[in-house]
Structure 1
Amino acid sequence: MPRACPQHGRKFRAVARSCLAALFVAGGLVVAPPMPAFAQTQSVEQGFATLVADRLFLDGPNRLIAEGNVEALSGQTRLRARRIIYDRQTGGLQIEGPLTLTEGDSVVMLADAAEMHDGFRRGLIRSARVVLEQQLQISAHQVERVDERFTQMDAVIASACEICAETQTPLWEVRATRVVHDQQEKQIYFENAQFRLFGLPVAYLPRLRVPDPSLERATGWLSPQFVVDTGHGIGLRAPYFIVLSQDKDLTVTPFLGTKGTRALELRYRQAFATGMLEMGGLVARDSIRSGRTRAMGYTRGEFAVGRGYELSFNLTKVSDRSLLDDYDRSESQLTSDITLERVRRDEYVRIQALHFRSLRLVDTNRTLPNQIGQAFYERRFDMPGLGGIAGLRFEVHGHQRRSPLAADVKSVARFSADLDWRRDAVLPAGVLGAVGFNLGVDHFDISPGATGFARSTTRVVPNVMAELRWPLVRGAAGGATHVVEPVAQVIWGRDRVDALPNDLSSLPELDEGNLFTHTRFAARDQREMGLRANLGLSWTRHDPQGWSSTLMLGRVWRKRDLGQFSPDSPLAGGRSDWLLVSSLDTDQGLTLSNRALFNSDFRLSRNALELDWSTQDYSISTTYMHIRADPAENRPSKAAEWSLDGSRALDEYWTASVNWRYDIARNRAARLGAGLSFENECLRMEMEVERRFASATSSSDTTRFGLNIDVLGVGGNPSRARRTCSGG
């Protein structure tokens, strides 16, 4: 007669290891010679460690039966079922479902019935559905667990798509007669596989291997890219990823086009304990430049070399100017550099070698100062005796041209030293005052030639500064806060301007970031001179509803025009153009800013308007730019351009996008593109068409259509969050 553990009330939950062992000890005493309690408990633990059920009883000396909301645990494996029968003599489990078997967070299995052995490590499961990493679903007529490593499945349908009552057919699926899951290598092997889209068979593969969703890196084909453009015709890129070891990999991407394009791209990556290395390139033969082999190569890396120093390098070489543009890697300039730097709280060190190559069709690289070597040392410290903060900066710089024009110098070497000091104080009535100075010393060695510059020149530039700010804060009705701050800064510097080459500071700017500084030049080859006053007024409003606005007006006054700026520059003359900056930020995701420069006659010299608006359903980013002509800046005519990038979510899965750039000065489009993307829990698809018109880097118009399809939920290509099926 079956014996049961004591019950409390109508049903009880639990009887874990101790109750289970006691039952088997009692059963053993009836039909078998006595055995040590430890041995009998160990024998039970080989089946499972913990058992919980509504009803638990013995059926004879060797059979334990658990019924009603049964849960069994063994290590990381958890089993839920309607009924479990455990045979002590064979160590087998007969499980009646519906049952759920989970292994940690990675594997979930649903089935009708099962027979298990060795603590769930071996067994046969019927009418099963396996879910790997909550992504890939595999439905099988029968699942056999051979051991802890291999699981074999028969009559299989696999998909990462959600299957609901109203959508019985998944977007994509793989059907196979047999599937083997190697949990150690994290690979899934399909035999006689058939790939289907929308329920229709599109490919048959006798053998198919894919990584399971928990594997982030595996050797195999990546998602292909289809391209249709005027240069290559109909093309296909098919990248193949090769895992060389845990710390290195190689990607080989052949590219074939119907207009004769034959290209091969390579990318090698390796991780080190102190950094990373990446090398790659492209070799191509095409009809764009018929009969020529075109190539590009690059090397990039970052390494920690000790004592806080970081070594980085980026070396790039191309065979011709239009190669990158023809292969969808548009750049106007290539920069190669080797840099050693260290950044600390009050110290910065950088040693750098650079090489620039312009890809603009109108530039001649051999006449540009594109070979540069430089070193910086900057340190900030408290000034003894005077108080305040001081800064010390040393710079060694050299650049050269390969073939200079008559008006250019071939090479320039410069040593610069700067000492800065500034002390701030709070004056009566809340006025903020500051005093400071800057002493700059520059020594130049200039290559000889018909340039009109001295061979060797030393320049000393002192600047003394005094500044007053008076921030005024006022609260308004409704909780808004207004902040008005007038600023007056006077800087004295010497009036004499030395005749020196200007290769690095030919494009000075005036904006809200440098209005209150002692120089508007980008590099030390030029320094701003003379007695001048930087004046400005700003107003900021903070609204309690979450938006704020800013308005700033400023200008530079000079005692005397020293001719340091070109006549068409906003900084030219005794008085610079007015600088007007406005901005608006809202909690609705809208940001609007405008920067304008205009003279006293309200003639606009420069204007930049930018609007960004992002919400959950759409995003818009548009920019308008207008710059007056300035031959000294290599801009003989005005430049005006309008660009826009936008996207709109059409529904839960579809997103449309558009982008264009319009050259207002030439009254013609520069670029026009539109895209459509789809993404659900198992598929990502992107379509894009783009029209590029002739520009500084391309002499002809090109049209391109691209299509990318990514199957999600397989390997290291995770699916997005699943939707919830509606209905029952």
Structure 2
Amino acid sequence: MKVAYRLIAGLPILLSTASLAAAAPVVLPLARLADDPAASAPQESNGEKKQEVLIRADKMTYDANTSVVTAEGNVEVTYGPRTLLADKLIYNQESRIVIAEGNATIREANGTTLSGNRMEVTDDMREGIIESMNVIIAGRGRLAAARATRTGGNMMTLEKAAYTTCEPCKEDPSKAPTWQIKAFRVIYNQDKARVEYEDAFFEVFGVPIAYLPYFSHSDPEAPRASGFLVPGVGHSTDIGYFLEVPYYFALDPSYDLLLSPMYTENDGPLLKSEWRQRVTDGQYYIQASGRYGQPRNRFGVEYGDETLQGHVFGKGRFDIDDVWRWGYDAEVTSNDTYLKRYDISSKDRLVNNLFIEGIDGRSYAAVNGWYFQGLRETDDPGTTPLVLPLVELEYVPDEAVLGGRFQLVGNALYLHRGEGRDTARLSSTASWKLPVTTTGGHLFTFFANLRADGYHVTDTGVSGTDEQTVGRILPWAGAEWRYPMVRTDWGWKQVIEPIVQVIGAPYGGNPDEIPNEDSASFEFDETNLFSFNKFPGLDRWETGPRVNVGFRAAAYFDEGFVEAIVGESFRFHEDDAFTEESGLRNQQSDYVGRLTIQPDANIRLVHRFRIDQSALRYERNEIYGEAFDPDWYTFRAGYLLLEPDPLIPTQREEISLEGRVRTIEHIWFRASGRRDLADEQMIESKFGLAYEDDCAEFGLDFRRRFTRDRDIEPSSSFLFTFRLKGVN
């Protein structure tokens, strides 16, 4: 049975000590105010409203002469959002001092926990001294100190303190954590979520490795705060030893800045930066870097005057209203090998895009501008096109037309080159599609399309300028039949589905006067087997009547599935719009297909292929597999074979391997590699060791790049990385 008493400060209390020492738990609200309605909500000096101090305990005594309450056994003191727990408590109402002994703990509303052998604090728990203190911050950060002084409810000054985010070892709590920061003096500002150190030592596995006269970081509660991030240190053959020290500026909730000064042994200083911002109607970021120095020739030798070299990447997306938005993608660099030399990007072509687009129901409109920068040695800036504008329009009415869906598509393009051919194109397409499902489960799709294209081509050469205007009308129509058959047996859901697509179209329509700007590069595979036009763009189209056939089979079970599709295309006459190497030129195409085996969520094998229909050899062979257990291993392997084509006249055959396995507790071995099987040489290899636990990650990796690109020689590099979890 609980007994409750209300003690009013400043009034006599007519209760005997024996009556308060009841065997049952006792609850005492100790009010500081008289029951005067006019004084119901006075303020503390810090602006907080005064509240009752509520004490619960197994045993409690009160001395009326000294106004001292002594509580023992499961003591719990509550003042507003804070709670104090202890084995024994002495509370002086006159001085408002609480002395807590034995497993003393203060719990804050935000989850922060303060504990110590002995506490002497004010009854609102905002001021006081804590002996042998431990602080758990948001369930993650841990501060320990021989003595701590708390002021203002939000500031703590700690003496002989240590901080870590590592959990104590369950078998041996005295064991040194993976890492900790020890200091003679630490200031913890709870409002700013900031921990500051004076005369600090950074320890790893109990061994001091760095002295820090002054150091500060955010606690785990702070999502963003300014400060230094983990530095990067390493070595590569191209730039020598390097050190990168990033600094993060948390300028505002809506924008921030990252500056990363980098010093290299061979090339001197380099500055990297990244700006991110959310605005009212969208967001954007800009990444840039730069150095001032002499350029290098293809042999890596510096020459000429010192110039500014660098790169700028960016991306932005902005809403205009509920229908329209605009945006950009930016990628530019000062010279071809800059990005690879400083390991910023491995791209060999940079794409810049400025656009505005609108989506209204099923209809769509967009205006784009495209600029490309080729970084390969064979790229010629004079023949690299500028696309401005590219206009795309799609209109789909809500009402059905002849029972089916009708669509109008418009396209306008102007493509300009500094040297060579310029192209202007107008195109419009009307299409109609009607899906029908019979009572027997047959799926039919009927379709008809009519497209009209107009081109104006200007070709400027040594002999002068040649201008041509040409147009064409391209009709086609057809039907597709599918018959999925489903049954369940042995607990598996099994599906087999034959597919036949018949398309009627006239021959011709690809005159030599029409340049091939957007359809020169494509791959015939299972993804476009049933496309009406297997060319990816508008400049070329698939001519003549043809039949596309395929077969799909699948089995689905509780944790995984097996799925396969195979097919080919037939035509009455050869289509010389396709190259011989494409697998589509002849009356019977190559075989294309895909096999996917996924017995569970952790194992997957995919085989994609194109097989020459006459020689029955692989023209494209791609195999990819992965298996992983997040706690123990991850393995990925890939194989790729591509036979020569007009754009890549040499065979490409390579294999890639990647793996990560835990050797002993917390230690992982990781390795990856790519090998060119056609040239019988390695492309890249990498291996390293990593340590990872609940509070830290350390990694040491070695990489060897075997390729050469002008001033980028085959090189070796190593990189040391580390991350302290829970330190912002």
Fold similarity call, TM over 0.5 = yes
Among 427, 439, 453, the residue aligned to 2:438: 427
Deviation, structure 1 residue 492: 0.6
1:459 maps to amino acid: R
Partner of 1:239: 246
1:411 aligns with 2:422: yes
Return 108-117 or 264-273, whichever deviates more. Answer: 264-273
Residues 436 and 466, structure 1, Cα contact 8 Å, conserved in 2: yes
Structure 1 gaps of 5+ residues are 26-34, 405-409, 716-728
- Mapped partners of 1:551, 1:593: distance in 2: 10
Deviations 1:679-723 (A, max 9, x none): 2233221222111122568753121211112233322xxxxxxxx
* Structure 1 equivalent of residue 8 of structure 2: none
Which of 139, 142, 149 aligns to 2:144? It is 139
Q: Is this contact kept in 1: 2:145–2:158, CA < 8 A?
A: yes
Matched, 1:95 2:108: no
Farther off after superposition, 319-328 or 280-289: 280-289
Q: Does 1:504 align with 2:549?
A: no
Q: Match for residue 483 of structure 1? A: 495
> SS at 1:324's partner residue?
helix
Residue 320 of structure 2 aligns to a residue whose secondary structure is strand
Structure 2 residue 165 is the aligned partner of structure 1 residue 149 = no
Query: 2:312 matched to which residue of 1?
Result: 297
Match of 2:584? 571
- Does residue 685 of structure 1 match 2:698? yes
Residues 47-97 of structure 1: CA distance to partner in whole angstroms, max 9, x if unpaired? 744322112332115222222101112222111111222222222212222
**Matched residues in 1 for 2:76 and 2:173: separation?**
32
Is 2:356 the partner of 1:349? no
CA offsets, 1:498-541, max 9 Å, x none? 31110110123222222112101111111211111111112112
Task: Encode CA deviations 1:526-576: one digit per residue, 9 max, x unaligned.
Answer: 121111111111211224x53321222211111222311012211111121
1:437-458 per-residue CA deviation (whole Å, 9 max, x = no partner) reads 1111111111145799971122
- Provide closer, same or farther for how the CA distance between residues 559 and 7 of structure 1 changes in structure 2, counting only shifts above 3 A: farther
Counterpart of 1:580 (choices 585, 593, 612) is 593
In 2, Cα distance between the equivalents of 1:158 and 1:70?
29
| Structure 2 residue 710 is the aligned partner of structure 1 residue 694 | no
Amino acid in structure 2 at the alignment position of 1:121: R
Match of residue 330 from structure 1: 346
State the partner residue of 2:726: 713
* Residues 18-67 of structure 1: per-residue CA shift (max 9 Å, x gap): xx45xx99xxxxxxxxx647699989994744322112332115222222
Match of 1:29 in 2: none
Distance 1:607 1:205, change over 3 A: closer
CA distance in 2, matches of 1:615, 1:154: 45
Task: Rate the CA distance shift 1:649–1:430 in 2: closer, same or farther, 3 A.
Answer: same
2:253, 2:433 → 1: CA distance? 52
Cα 1:390–1:560 shift into 2, 3 Å: same
**What CA distance in whole angstroms lies between the structure 2 residues aligned with 1:392 and 1:42?**
71
Deviation at 1:226, TM superposition (A): 0.7
- CA separation in 2, counterparts of 1:46 and 1:538? 74
Counterpart of 1:218 in 2: which secondary structure? coil
Contact 2:20 2:60 in 1 (8 A): no
Moved more, 444-453 or 347-356: 444-453
**Aligned equivalents of 2:134 and 2:241: distance in 1?**
41
SS at match of 1:306: coil
1:228 aligns with 2:235: yes
**Alpha-carbon shift at residue 588 of structure 1 (Å):** 4.9
Aligned residue number for residue 7 of structure 2: none
Query: What CA RMSD, in Å, does the superposition of the two structures yield over aligned residues?
Result: 2.7
- The equivalent residue for 1:125 is 130
Aligned to 2:256: 249
Per-residue CA deviation, residues 358-407 of structure 1 (Å, 9 max, x unaligned), is 11122223223354531212233455341122222111122122112xxx
Q: Which residue of 2 aligns with 1:315?
A: 330
Q: Secondary structure at the match of 2:382?
A: helix
1:418, distance to aligned residue in structure 2 (A): 1.4
User: Is the 8 Å Cα contact of residues 606 and 628 (structure 1) preserved in structure 2?
Assistant: yes
Amino acid at match of 1:168: K
CA distance in 2, matches of 1:452, 1:458: 20
Q: Distance in 1 between the 2:648 and 2:460 partners?
A: 27
Partner of 1:636: 649
5+ long unaligned stretches in structure 2: 1-13
Contact 1:434 1:466 in 2 (8 A): yes
Counterparts of 1:42 and 1:63, CA distance in 2: 25
Q: Specify the alignment match of 1:13 in structure 2.
A: 25
Contact 1:361 1:698 in 2 (8 A): no
Pairing 1:604–2:601 present: no
Which secondary structure does the structure 2 equivalent of 1:95 belong to? strand
SS of residue paired to 1:351: strand
Provide the residue aligned with 1:56 in structure 2: 60
Going from structure 1 to structure 2, the CA distance change for 1:46 and 1:87 (only over 3 Å counts) comes to: farther
Match of 2:641 among 599, 620, 626: 626
Aligned with 2:389 (options 373, 382, 391): 373
**Change in CA separation of 1:168 and 1:562 when aligned onto 2, cut-off 3 Å:** closer
**What SS class does the counterpart of residue 231 from structure 1 fall into?**
coil
Aligned mates of 1:502, 1:603 — CA distance in 2: 29
**Counterpart residue number, 2:605:** 592
- Given the alignment, which residue of 153, 166, 176 partners 1:169? 176
* Equivalent-residue separation in structure 1 for 2:276 and 2:302 (angstroms): 32
**Contact 2:349–2:373 (CA under 8 A) maintained in structure 1:** yes
* CA–CA distance in structure 1, aligned partners of residues 726 and 136 of structure 2: 11
Q: Tell me, in whole angstroms, the C-alpha distance in 2 between the residues paired with 1:660 and 1:2.
A: 83
1:433, distance to aligned residue in structure 2 (A): 1.6
TM-fit CA distance, 1:103: 0.6
How far apart in 1 are the matches of 2:19 and 2:526?
82
SS at match of 2:339: helix
1:447 to 420, 439, 458: 458
| Native 8 Å contact 1:453 1:501 kept in 2 | no
Displacement of 1:655: 2.2
TM-score by length of 1: 0.89
- In structure 2, relative to structure 1, the CA distance for the partners of 1:124 and 1:563 (3 Å cut) is same
In 1, distance between residues paired with 2:127 and 2:439? 85
Percent identity over the alignment is 25
Residue number among 679, 682, 685 corresponding to 1:669 in the alignment? 682
- The answer on whether the counterparts of 1:47 and 1:91 sit within 8 Å (CA) in structure 2 is no
Cα drift, residue 314 of structure 1: 2.0
Aligned length: 692
2-structure distance, mates of 1:525, 1:14: 88
* 1:230-263 C-alpha deviation (Å, 9 max, x unpaired): 0111111111222333333222212112224321
User: Aligned partners of 1:106, 1:390: CA distance in 2, in Å?
Assistant: 60
Aligned counterpart, 2:379: 363
| Helix, strand or coil at the partner of 1:637 | coil
**Counterpart Cα distance in 2 of 1:385 and 1:338:** 35
Counterpart for residue 473 of structure 2: 460
Higher relative contact order, structure no. (Cα contacts within 8 Å, ≥ 6 residues apart): 1
Residue pair 1:46, 1:118 contacting (<8 A) in 2 also: no
Is 1:396 the counterpart of 2:415? The answer is: no
- Please say if residues 128 and 149 of structure 2, whose CA atoms lie closer than 8 Å, have aligned partners that are also in contact: yes
Partner amino acid, structure 1, of 2:317: E
Distance 1:397 1:480, change over 3 A: same
1:443/1:204 Cα in 2 relative to 1: closer, same or farther (>3 Å)?
same
Residues 422/172 of structure 1: CA separation in 2 closer, same or farther (3 Å cut): same
1:191 and 2:198 aligned: yes
